[in-house]
Amino acid sequence: MNKNYVVIMAGGVGSRFWPASRTSFPKQFLDILGTGKTLLQQTYDRFDGICPKENIFIVTNESYRDLIKEQLHGISDHQILGEPMMRNTAPCIAYASSKIFKIDPQARIVVAPADHLILKETQFKEIILNALELSSKEDYLITLGIVPSRPDTGYGYIQFNESIQVDKAYKVKTFTEKPNLELATTFLKSGDFLWNAGIFIWSAASILKSFEQNLPDMLEVFQEGKPFLNTAKESDFIKGAYGRCTNISIDYGILEKAQNVYVIPSDFGWSDLGTWGSVYDIKEKDAHGNVVLGDQKIILKESSNCVVSVPAEKIVVLFGLDDYIVVESNNSLMICPKSREQEIKAIVSDVKEKFGKDYV
């Protein structure tokens, strides 16, 4: 277990959860589901028993460093990897992997987002531990794929080769980003496509080798910084290094090019919690299909299929609404059709342009 490491990516701004999620306090630091724990805290606790606490690293924006320390008691400065700017997932994984490899060249790494929901944690741990064991024996880049339950257009898809299997992992054939409904329906019927969960398992040596093959310029940046990693000079080095990195995801930069990518079909009650609609999907509903988050004073009259989150001290009446998101937070109110929730990101841009960055 001491060879196992976890990298939690916690740098996003969660704009599709506006107005609750703000740039200064994004969704991973919120108790979106009303469980008593934030999404980050749930993710951190999830890896108990998979690796020692000191082997968990959080990659986040430098400005969130204090939030991390407030929410994860006992975590050291060494375990918080502060990014000076947003550069997508490839640079943060190159950074974390280089840092961990310097600590332990035999390290095995899980990379996971901070804001996903896992309902079946026992099954999740079993799959992760099996994948870590496989990564120690084979030069594989392993991703977890969720068995799809519907033709969802909000997820990426992974196609696998049923004839090439090693210990429950199948060789990946293709990646497809957020297809249209017709294509997603075709994927579902074919039986060899999975949702891309964005959770990865590999050895530190394997992922760095793949960076060398597919993103050599990026790897070179962090190789130059090897003398500074895990020292007092690490932060200053990173401030200069990030601006030299391409803004690219690990999927585009590595996984779609590499020939040693394998996927494990998984079912552990997963949701990426990317939108208010995804919260609606997993929460218990009343007789009319409404979801009310938290302890709120709400009257729902002739209203159905809505998700509502408002301050507890407010009395709110919804009359004649069907299939809407109603959220009030941070002195802002948003009322939006659930069917158009993908446009919330653009709405946030409009708010910023019209009223300033303090409102986003």
Question: Could you tell me if 97 and 225 are in contact, meaning their C-beta atoms sit under 8 angstroms apart?
Answer: no
d(CA 164, CA 241): 39
Q: Cα(274)–Cα(288) distance, rounded to whole angstroms? A: 24
Residue 188, pLDDT score: 85
Parts of the chain with a pLDDT under 50: none
Which residue type sits at 97? S
At 249, list the tokens: 């995801």
Torsion of the alpha carbons at 268, 272, 276 and 278, rounded to the nearest 10: -40
Rounded to an integer, what distance in angstroms lies between the CA atom of residue 222 and that of residue 205?
14
Can you tell me which residue has the tokens 């709120």? Answer: 296
Q: Which residue in 322, 329, 287 sits closest to 307, CA to CA?
A: 322
Dist. CA 215–CA 253, nearest whole Å: 7
d(CA 164, CA 183): 24
- The whole-angstrom separation of Cα 124 and Cα 320 is 41
- List the domains of the chain with CATH numbers: 4-271 (3.90.550.10), 276-359 (no CATH)
Burial 209-220 (b: 16+ CB within 10 A, else e): bbbeebbeebbe
Residues 149-203: pLDDT tens digits?
888 888 889 999 988 989 899 999 999 888 888 998 988 888 899 999 999 999 9
Residue 179, pLDDT score: 87
Helix or strand run (H / E) with residue 239: helix 234-241
User: What is the reported pLDDT for 33?
Assistant: 87
Overall pTM > 0.75: yes
* DSSP per position, 78-104: GGEEEESS---HHHHHHHHHHHHHHH-
Nearest partner of 241 among 258, 259, 263, 222, judged by Cα: 222
243's CB contacts (< 8 A; 6+ apart) are: 84, 85
Place of tokens 């249209």: 180
Residue in the structure block whose two tokens are 């080095």: 237
Residues 93-133: tens digit of each pLDDT:
999 999 999 999 999 999 999 999 999 999 999 999 999 99
- Amino acid 350: pLDDT: 96
At residue 69, the pLDDT reads 97
Q: Is the dihedral of CA 27, 29, 34, 35 positive or negative?
A: positive
Per-residue pLDDT, 342:
86
| Residue of 326, 325, 305, 301 whose CA lies nearest to 314 | 326
The three-class DSSP label of residue 152 is coil
User: What pLDDT does 334 receive?
Assistant: 97
pLDDT at 191: 86
